[in-house]
């Protein structure tokens, strides 16, 4: 006797099993990267972390995420650049669910009044995703002021999603200072120049640096918002002492000729004293 086979159900079961295996493998790999990263004495209030594929930037990014004390965090603001849509401000999501390799994040309305959305994870903290467009310096200051009170709240964590220099003809960016050595060394010197300004928490000098060198830091506007939020807190007598430190830097490859290309990654953390 034959029997009908529900191929859709069978394919669904197979897909679910494959997804679980991938999630388990990723979870183990993330755990290894996090274990290899050193922990600073103070937990991060904000981090800058790369967002390329895990195989490229996971080991670097883990150095930023390792500074997070998850037991203290109730809400995570994720500020990321708009890669595909031109925006002059910031945008929010209207989707109901974010699918990740580890678990789904469900969108809920109304948890954060001024943003109107939040995403609840299985770990009982909320995530507020903000897509940051191409902002003027005035708008960076405006959004910095808006986010400053949330940054000052120890229940919140800010994740600034950004890779650093995208170098090569395919990125239309081939700045090369031969005095720095080989191309990859010039790229690193350029990135570290910007990283040093970020560590000094200076939004004006960071803006000037970007105008002068046009470094293709994809999260430059989210970084600008963070720096302006810190600057607003510092100037308004809250008594907070803040410091930022980069913990890891890496490149996808070490370019030695104009035919090659690379993307840089940097991981850093902002702490409050």
Q: What is the pLDDT of residue 188?
A: 98
What percentage of the chain reaches a pLDDT higher than 90? 62
* Higher pLDDT, residue 159 or 119: 159
Higher pLDDT pick, 122 / 184: 184
pLDDT tens by residue, 96-117: 666 777 766 655 444 333 443 3
Among the residue ranges 27-31, 123-127, 132-136, the one predicted with the least confidence is 123-127
pLDDT on residue 65: 94
Strands 262-272 and 242-251: antiparallel
Residue 148: is its pLDDT beyond 80?
A: yes
This prediction's pTM: 0.85
pLDDT > 70 in the chain, percent: 81
CA–CA gap between residue 78 and residue 127 (Å, rounded): 7
Instruction: Share the mean pLDDT of the chain.
Output: 85
Average pLDDT over residues 172-179: 98
- What's the gap between Cα 232 and its chain centre? 21
Q: Give the chain's end-to-end CA distance (angstroms, integer).
A: 74
- The CA-CA-CA angle for residues 142, 147, 150, to 5°, reads 160
């Amino acid at each position: 006797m034959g029997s009908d086979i529900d191929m859709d159900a069978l394919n669904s079961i197979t897909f679910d099993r494959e997804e679980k295996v991938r999630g388990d493998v990723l979870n183990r790999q993330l755990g290894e990267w996090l274990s290899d990263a050193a922990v600073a004495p103070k937990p991060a209030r904000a981090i800058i972390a790369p967002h390329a594929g895990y195989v490229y930037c996971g080991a670097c990014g883990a150095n930023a995420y390792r500074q997070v004390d998850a037991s203290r965090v109730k809400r995570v603001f994720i500020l990321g650049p708009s890669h595909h849509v031109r925006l002059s401000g910031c945008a929010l999501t209207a989707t109901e669910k974010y699918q990740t390799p580890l678990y789904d994040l469900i969108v809920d309305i109304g948890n954060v009044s001024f943003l109107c959305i939040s995403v609840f994870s299985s770990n009982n903290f909320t995530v507020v995703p903000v897509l940051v467009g191409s902002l003027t310096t005035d708008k960076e200051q405006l959004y910095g002021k808006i986010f400053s009170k949330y940054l000052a709240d120890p229940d919140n964590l800010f994740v600034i999603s950004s890779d650093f220099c995208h170098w090569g003809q395919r990125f239309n960016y081939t700045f090369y200072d031969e005095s720095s050595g080989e191309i990859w060394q010039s790229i690193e010197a350029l990135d570290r120049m910007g990283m040093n300004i970020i560590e000094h928490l200076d939004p004006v000098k960071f803006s000037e640096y970007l105008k002068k060198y046009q470094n293709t830091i994809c999260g430059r506007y989210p970084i600008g918002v963070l720096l302006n939020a810190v600057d607003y807190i510092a100037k308004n007598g809250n008594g907070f002492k803040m410091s930022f430190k980069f913990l890891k830097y890496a490149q996808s490859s070490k370019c030695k000729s104009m035919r090659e290309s690379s993307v840089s990654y940097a991981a850093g953390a902002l702490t409050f004293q």
